[in-house]
Amino acid sequence: MNEAQKLELETTIEELESYRGRHTELITVLVPAGATLTQTTKQLEDEKGTATNIKSTATRKNVIAALERAIRKLKEIGKTPANGLALYSGNVTMPDGRESMEIWTIEPPKKLKIKIYRCDQTFVVDPLKEMLETDEVYGLLIIERNEASIGILDGKHIKLLQHMTSGIPGKTKCGGQSAQRFARIRESAAKEFFKRVAENIKTHFWDNKKLKGILIGGPIPTKEEFLEQGQLVTALKNKVMAVKDIGGTGMHGLHELVERCEDTLAEQEITKQRLILDLFLEKLAKDPNKVSYGLAEVEDRLNRGAVDKLIISKSLPRDKIKLLEKLAKASSAEIHIVTNETAEGVQFDNLGGVAGLLRFEIHD
């Protein structure tokens, strides 16, 4: 599922969630991959017969109408798509206040594994929302002698899960036996701190089925000492994919760690976003005639078929995003959706949140 497909699904889900029936009259039908539409159609025909027993005239009328539209649509589709089918039908209240009998059919980007028929006041969208979740996440650790930060990279999102301090005493200026005693105390405290960090990493990541790897950063030689002395359980230690020299903990350190691990994370969303935005900013500085930005200018370049890569911020209004995507598809331009959750994303938003890398120069 590419970013454009993900955004389209997300938009549809938000729309479906915004509707609420006056009574239990909104129909949800989820057909899993491999199931036949004939069976589902028969089930809806049976439900239509049952609906005639509904006491409320208005509710009965709306439920039967929603079922009839769903049955017609299933017969029209004929065959279950490869990943299954999600169908929503019902009498909904539109933004302008009028009621309208509407139907949606969605071919999910991933295989549906659940079969559902439900008549309720809301549509059932949780199985589709789960498809928007990232399939792979990475554990993040920045460790220094006096503090550590544990975080997670989930798609384009970096989250600080826990910050810890070590309590290791500072170096003493004493000499002789006192210095040796303080050194032993410091070393013992460091080992205890490493052990505590390892235990917390296990707490955060042991049960995470999506965990693909762990990235570790910190100064030399602290991070190496942690891997040697921290008693990190073998199953998690085997997931360590990269160890980088990083200075500083907290959110800043976690962002720096992810940037330093760009080679390891080449196929991850956050790296792809950084690369496309870096390319845009580089071209803007070195070859500005091959770049356009701002809504009006980019729309003009799209209409001329000049845009090779279209970059859209997710923070733009949805109607504008849909228009730009439509123009991009008409001219076979690549579409890149970015967020403002990185420094580059914030900078891009400040430039208008939309840009095009051009196939050829345009001089107005």
> What is the per-residue pLDDT across 86-130, written as a single tens digit (0 to 9) for each?
999 999 887 777 888 999 999 998 999 999 999 999 999 999 999
Instruction: Assign 349 a pLDDT band (cuts: 50, 70, 90).
Output: very high
pTM greater than the 0.75 cutoff = no
- For the domain bounded by 3-131, which CATH number is listed? 3.30.960.10
CATH among 3.40.50.970, 3.30.1330.30, 3.30.830.10, 3.90.1150.10 for 270-358: 3.30.1330.30
pLDDT above 60 (res 176): no
Residue 89 to residue 194: CA distance in whole angstroms: 56
Q: What is the pLDDT of residue 269?
A: 86
Residue 151: which of 225, 238, 220, 211 has the closest Cα? 211
Cβ-count burial of 6 within 10 angstroms (0-12 exposed, 13-18 middle, 19+ buried)?
middle
Residue 273: which of 321, 309, 307 has the closest Cα? 309
Token output for 17: 């969630």
Residue 143 to residue 303: CA distance in whole angstroms: 51
Q: Where in the chain is CATH 3.30.1330.30? A: 270-358
- Ranking 24-28, 80-84, 99-103, 307-311 by mean pLDDT, the lowest is 99-103
Q: What is the pLDDT of residue 178?
A: 66
Provide the residue type at 330 as one letter. A
Q: Where in the chain is CATH 3.30.960.10? A: 3-131
Token output for 90: 């019902």
pLDDT above 60 (res 184): yes
- For the domain bounded by 137-267, which CATH number is listed? 3.30.420.60
